Amino acid sequence: MTGSLYIVATPIGNRDDITARAVQVLRKVTVIAAEDTRHSRPLLLHHGIDTALMTVHDHNERDAVDGVIARLKAGDDVALISDAGTPLVSDPGFRLVRAVRAEGLRVVPVPGPCAAIAALSVAGLPSDRFVFEGFLAAKASARRTRLQALATETRTIIFYESGHRIVEALADMRDVFGPSRAAVLARELTKIYETVIDEPLQSLATRVAGDPDQQKGECVVLVAGAGDDADARLVEGKRVFALLREELPASRAAKLAAAITGAPRKELYEVGD
């Protein structure tokens, strides 16, 4: 009999947000593969789990895969946890799961907390369709390029961000998506300083830039999808203008971009020239 690899979600803050099944599984497996054993041990002890631990993180995942597969083939059950929430969601585990599945071994989900879904559940933004973007790039140019690619996305967009970069990220979102696009900042969910602010990007960016307390901790930013409104037309107009401007004089590029997108020609010309 081969063992199973359990992918177990753990809390994103409040230590009691763990399912009864997660606790049972973490107690009964032979070994728990954790991203950071020092981080996870207090949580495990809090729930009376003293299972042996091994480390699987971004830097050793390739090597750890062979060890885990050997254990599974020997009949041991293994659980994978990350520092918070659901493994593989902006966390290690993808290589491991792919390799274990490729061996024909069983991978079992033990679902639970995920910051993106927790944030979506309280944001009050359309939730029937959404896209998860995870972390934006740390470099400003790469971050803006990615945001540009999302400017006409019509589904609710979910980003992860750390407090250190939240001011820059919100400013870029405001510039690319437009000042009046609806957005929500969900910070420190399930923790003492849990905050959920829902405001258009202009006021959200200004508020967070002016309040150091809102720049601390872990953040999820949700942005409403582009609608058929003036902001969306302007965003698309700017994008088309920038492309045409590479080949044409500004006035001609603005005229064409305005005709293609319905954005006001004057605003494109002023913005782009």
Q: Which residues bind ligand SAM (CB under 6 A)?
A: 12-13, 82, 84-86, 89-91, 114-116, 160-162, 186-191, 218-220
What is the total residue count of the chain?
273
> Looking at residue 193, what DSSP letter applies?
T
Q: What is the DSSP string of 79-116?
A: EEE-SSBSTTSSSS-HHHHHHHHHTT-EEEEE----HH
Residue pointed to by tokens 């063992």:
3
Find the shortest distance in angstroms from Cβ 115 to ligand SAM: 3
Find the shortest distance in angstroms from Cβ 120 to ligand SAM: 11
Find the shortest distance in angstroms from Cβ 57 to ligand SAM: 11
Find the shortest distance in angstroms from Cβ 13 to ligand SAM: 4
Residue placing its CB nearer to ligand SAM in the complex, 29 or 114: 114
Find the shortest distance in angstroms from Cβ 176 to ligand SAM: 19
Residue placing its CB nearer to ligand SAM in the complex, 85 or 178: 85
Residue placing its CB nearer to ligand SAM in the complex, 25 or 84: 84
Residue placing its CB nearer to ligand SAM in the complex, 30 or 190: 190
**Taking a C-beta distance cutoff of 8 angstroms, is the pair 68, 56 a contact?**
yes
Nearest to 192 by CA among 213, 206, 211, 207: 213
Residue placing its CB nearer to ligand SAM in the complex, 123 or 234: 123
Going by their DSSP bridges, the two strands 182-187 and 218-223 should be labelled as antiparallel
Find the shortest distance in angstroms from Cβ 79 to ligand SAM: 15
**Taking a C-beta distance cutoff of 8 angstroms, is the pair 169, 194 a contact?**
no
**Taking a C-beta distance cutoff of 8 angstroms, is the pair 185, 208 a contact?**
yes
DSSP H helical segments within the chain, as ranges? 20-28, 37-46, 61-73, 94-102, 115-123, 140-149, 166-177, 201-209, 230-245, 250-261, 265-272
Find the shortest distance in angstroms from Cβ 164 to ligand SAM: 10
Handedness of CA 141, 146, 150, 156 (dihedral sign): negative
Closest residue to bound ligand SAM by CB: 85
- Dihedral angle of Cα 8, 13, 19, 24, to the nearest 10 degrees: 60
Residue placing its CB nearer to ligand SAM in the complex, 130 or 241: 130
Residue placing its CB nearer to ligand SAM in the complex, 115 or 232: 115
